[in-house]
Amino acid sequence: MLDCRNLVVTYELTPVLQNLALYIGAGEIVALTGPSGSGKTTLLRCIAGLEVVDSGTILLSNEEITAKPAHSRRIGLVFQDNQLFPHLNVAKNISYSLMIQGTKQKLMDEKVAEVLELVGLTHLSQREVFKLSGGEAKRIAVARALVAQPKVLLLDEPLSGLDKELHARLLDDLGTLLRLRGTTTLHVTHDQNEANAIADRVLDIRNLMLH
Amino acid sequence: MITSYRSTSKWLAVLPVVAMLTFVVAPTLNIFIISLNFESFAILTAQTTRSVVWFTMWQAIISTILVLLFAMPIAAMTANFDFFGRRALISVISVPFILPTVVVGVAFLEILPTRIHQSAFAIIIAHIYFNFGLVVRIISSRWQQINPHLDDVARTLGASKIRLFVTVTLPLLKNSLRSAGILVFLMCFTSYGVIRILGGPARSTIETEIYFRAMQLGDVSGALVLSILQLVVVGVLILLTTQFGTTKSAELSQMVFSRIRKPQTPGQIVLITSVASISTFVVVMPLVSVVRRSILIGQKINFSIWQSIFTDEEISKSLTTSLKYAVFTIVVSTTIGLFGACSIIYGSARYRFLNLLTALPVVVSAVTLGLGLIITFDVNPIDWRGAWLMMPIAHCLVAIPIVMRIISPTIRDLPNGLRDASQTLGATTWQMWRTIDLRIIKPALMSAAAVACAVSLGEFGASSFLVRRNNETLPLMISRLLGRPGEIIQAQAYAIATLLIVACVAIIGLVDHLGTEKNR
């Protein structure tokens, strides 16, 4: 499904990713751990197409996407700080990718309702995003990424900064949701327990690089 | 630099660069080239010039000091207290700054006793009135960013309220006080409309002297030398602002604190009520006097002037011209300003030259701009002296630096993560710009358009040079009518000034409403 081969990224002469290799099978949930500054977020941004790799290739369903622009890769990314669009309400945030594709309003409404039900926030569809709680905002960010039907979903420490109770509840919900939809997922976290709870496989980024 | 838009920066820079090179740099260089003979510079040693320069300097210094002194209590109040009508008060005291200078002049002609018309006192009072709202806004917004816990720390360490202000607040406000001070000094140093109306023949500044020499005496080379003198002084001041104005301000602006609280003691309530009432009265009173004068003929209320305003062919023509130029200025300056701001923020460090280039109209001053345009575009094949387009182009040049400074912070503060999110959700570069950047900067863009409209409606300096028989704008008409005898004619001037006041009040209301929307 997603195959990263020999990825190299260097920032101002400092190597961040050194010959990194990673394979994720279809429908698999892989958790990626590692200390701060080990290149986890950089790897996600390279896979999403937001950063350019110095060398190496990225294949998605056997198609090379290394040079493809981010908008045409169909790889979803849930950001650590959600990045909900402040000028759009919940429903419009979720339907953003559908609006970009020129989807008809009726179909958009149906899909938004479906995904809101999935994350259990149907009652918040018209709410302004700055009025959401931390947990609600996180669920909306996941819903927004899922509605675009990405081939692979990348989660960049999606549960960091939440209190213990909310963290446990969201982790549970997220795992159920991803398995229910069979979404191929790369979940980045520095929390080993979180990684073990959600993933089929847990990898340490340091072990993916050839020094 | 914004990686996603990096490649578009050079295309976005084309329009602002071409506009500035053609209509500001070339005319300014032309002024230098034409004046490059030693005989012209003899004017600098003349007694008249020395007294004009001295007066320009001291009235600007005194005006600046007084503006800062008057603005501080109101800035302190609006930065620290949440009281009924706080937002309305900020809007009201901001009105004078966007009023046409001619209207401010006219208002003070009406309220000041005749014996102090054409005096330095009248000019300084008008300058304080014109600028103090701007200073309140600058200082108040910075003051709100000062961490309130620092006050608590200083108090627990034994500082009295005065010591706290002197040792903590004032040093943290130093940069904004300096920036506001230099801005006010520049406005007063290059003041034109106020001096033309309130100064009379005895009180001339460099700016009015340039006009007087070029247009009344026909001494163009003398006017050009004075333009260079003014350019040098303003240029040095702007360099000083950019040299010293940056330290710590960025650090402060990143912090968000809530130091605004409800007034608690009766003393605070009385003080706030008094300061708010006095400031509102001071701002509104001159404006009301203008409206009053427009309906008074021979000490009797008479609305016939207002009927004539909408039926008089000459006035209707000026009104149409002003509105036409305002629309042109809104469209052109907002477009060029948006392109310029985007190019600087989206592009690499080498696009920062645009910041300086687009600030040139401020350095050059409106009158010099008008003079430069008139002496540059007067030879075939670019003999555009009679072209109607020259005046709205000058309006745009004056508006562009302001437009850019309104739009830029919003574009700069837009989190890049939103653009990343948009891309991963399938948006192309154009879709991303349209659905994220443009949507979020829209309120700032609308505010910039509104301010550009106010600039065009009130522009007087450059327009004085570029006016032709068929394109007199409202401020020029006010100035002309005031120079003619007759109560009806004078009342007409006040009625036109009233129209401009109404437009400016509406514009400030719109800008503040959009600002509230943006901050929501």
A102-130 tens-digit pLDDT: 899 999 999 999 889 888 888 999 999 88
pLDDT attached to residue A119? 83
DSSP letters spanning A59-122:
EETTEE-TTS-GGGS-EEEE-TT----TTSBHHHHHTHHHHHHT--HHHHHHHHHHHHHHTT-G
Q: Which of B420, B427, B520 is facing A83, going by the closest CB pair?
A: B420
The rounded percent of chain A whose pLDDT value lies above 90 is 48
pLDDT of the residue at A81:
86
Instruction: Collect all residues with Cβ–Cβ distance below 8 Å to A115 and sequence separation of at least 6.
Output: A94, A143, A146, A147
- The distance of A15 to chain B (nearest Cα, Å) reads 20
- Other C-beta atoms closer than 10 Å to the C-beta of A16 total 20
Residue of B161 and B12 predicted with greater confidence: B12
Instruction: Write the residue in B425, B439, B520 that is nearest to A100 by C-beta.
Output: B425
Contacts of A148 in chain B (CB under 8 A): 425-426
Q: Is the CB of residue B491 less than 8 Å from the CB of residue B315? A: no
Closest CA to B482 of B293, B326, B334: B293
pLDDT score at A7: 93
SS3 B245: coil
State the ipTM, two decimals.
0.80
Size of interface A-B (CB pairs under 8 A): 68
- B175 vs B143, B485, B518, CA distance in Å? 11, 48, 25
Say whether B160 sits in a helix, a strand or coil: coil
Cis peptide before B361 (omega within 30 of 0): no
- Quickly state the pLDDT bin for A165 (edges 50, 70, 90): confident
Q: B425 and A74 in contact by Cβ < 8 A? A: no
Shortest CA gap A53–chain B (Å): 14
Query: What's residue B2's pLDDT?
Result: 73
With cut-offs at 50, 70 and 90, classify the pLDDT of residue B251. very low
Cβ A100–B440 below 8 Å, yes or no?
Answer: no
Q: Which residues of B16-50 are buried (b: 16+ CB within 10 A; e: fewer)?
A: bbebbeebbeebbebbeebbeeeebeebeeeeebe
Contact A71 B418 (CB under 8 A): no
- Looking at residues B120-149, what average pLDDT do you find? 89
Predicted pLDDT of residue B335 = 96
The whole-number pLDDT of residue A168 equals 85
Best of A44, A74, A85, A146 to disrupt the B interface (most B CBs within 10 Å) is A85
Of A50, A87, A130, the CB nearest to B423: A50
Mean pLDDT over each residue of chain B, to the nearest integer: 86
How confident is the model over B315-322, as a mean pLDDT? 91
Q: What is the pLDDT of residues B66-83, one digit of tens each?
A: 999 999 999 999 999 988
CB spacing of B424 vs A50 below 8 angstroms: yes
pLDDT, chain A, mean: 89
* Chain center to CA of A40: 12
At residue B243 the predicted structure's pLDDT band, cuts being 50, 70 and 90, is low
Contact B133, B97 (CB under 8 A): yes
Average pLDDT over residues B296-309: 81
Mutate to test the interface with A, among B411, B418, B425 (most CBs of A within 10 A): B425
Instruction: Mark residue B485 as left, alpha or beta (left: phi above 0; alpha: psi -120 to 50; beta: remaining).
Output: beta
Cβ–Cβ below 8 Å for A96 and B415:
no
For residue B419, give the chain A residue with the closest CA: A83
Whether the model pTM is above 0.95: no
What per-residue confidence (pLDDT) applies to B255? Answer: 47
> How far A75 CA lies from chain B's nearest CA (Å)?
6
Tell me the angle at which helices B438-458 and B390-413 cross, rounded to the nearest 10 degrees. Answer: 150
Chain A: give the shortest CA distance to residue B509, in Å.
22
Mutate to test the interface with A, among B3, B411, B424 (most CBs of A within 10 A): B424
Question: Which chain B residues contact residue A100 at CB under 8 A?
Answer: 425-427, 431, 435
Distance of CA A179 to the CA centre of its chain: 15
Shortest CA gap B436–chain A (Å): 8
B426–A71 C-beta distance less than 8 A: yes
For residue B90, pLDDT beyond 50: yes
